[in-house]
Amino acid sequence: MLSKQYIKQGNYIVGLATLLSLSSLFLSSKANALDGLLYSQTASFSNQLTELDGTPVLTLNQYNQQIGQTVTDVKFTITGTLTSSGTVKNTAAQAQTFTVTILPTTFDLMPDGSSPAALRNYGPFSPLDSFTKIGSLKYTSLASNTSANFGPYSINNNSSPTIVIFNQSTDIAGFLGTGTFSFNPSTEIGTSVSGGGGNITTSIMTSASAAITVEYYGTTTTVPFELSYNVGLCSFFSITFGLSWWKRKAHFDKSES
């Protein structure tokens, strides 16, 4: 039978090892929370002739949130360009003065049916109104049966992109996972001719470009590896030493009796 002294000493060693082990867990749990960009992706298309009716599709990835990460914000940045150029012709029997204007009435990126519920239709120039023009040109006394160039004219929102941010957990949940979600572009471009007596023909082409970037922001909890490793080693050797000591004393006591 082990003496009370050995039992006390054994309990002390095992207790010390347990304490070190728990301290390892405690110290390891003292992690660093880092705020910042976790992931970003851009989908885009360039110089697509209008009208656009659902294609080309812009597809983005959901974010596969890792252990220790918490997504706090999902940010979308949308930019776009519309460019028009071509010719106009006066088909009247006499010279005409008139103005040709190209007006975008719709330029939207529409989430498809499988996209997160929080998404809506977004456009580079939202909201479009009667003051948004791709280009406008006045022709003065253009001769009969004469053609003239129109443009090129271009507008973009690169200096003031459309920005949408989601920071509610119920909204963010829809963007987390391993799947994808998509946006379908839609355009409606109008041509206005003011003056000319209805005897003006136009041959103007308009192209559209767009880009949508998603950025996932959040915190990443990291464990200092060196601290965790060193304390873990101390705990391991303490437990090993304690068990070894316990076995030796038990064997010694048995042989003595």
| Averaged pLDDT, 49-66 | 97
**Residue 240 pLDDT:** 58
| Averaged pLDDT, 19-27 | 44
| Averaged pLDDT, 127-133 | 82
| Averaged pLDDT, 166-180 | 97
Lowest mean pLDDT among 10-19, 27-36, 45-54, 143-152: 10-19
With helix as H, strand as E and coil as C, how does the chain read? CCCHHHHHHHHHHHHHHHHHHHHHHHHHCCCEEEEEEEEEEEEEEEEEECCCECCCCEEEECECCCCCEEEEEEEEEEEEEEEEEEEEEECCCCCEEEEEEEEEEEEEEEECCCCCCCCCCECCCCCCCCCCCCEEEEEEEECCCEEEEEEEEEEECCCCCEEEEECCHHHHHHHECCCEEEEEEEEEEEEEEEEHHHCEEEEEEEEEEEEEEEEEEEEEEECCHHHHHHHHHHHHHHHHHHHHHHHHHHHHHHHHC
pLDDT bin (cut points 50, 70, 90) of residue 232 is: low
**Residue 75 pLDDT:** 97
**Residue 222 pLDDT:** 78
**Residue 35 pLDDT:** 77
**Residue 246 pLDDT:** 52
Residue 243 scores a pLDDT above 50: yes
Query: Does residue 242 or residue 30 have the better pLDDT?
Result: 242
Residue 52 scores a pLDDT above 50: yes
pLDDT bin (cut points 50, 70, 90) of residue 250 is: low
What percent of the chain has pLDDT above 90?
68
Residue 112 scores a pLDDT above 70: yes
pTM, rounded to two decimals: 0.75
**Residue 128 pLDDT:** 81
Query: Does residue 33 or residue 87 have the better pLDDT?
Result: 87
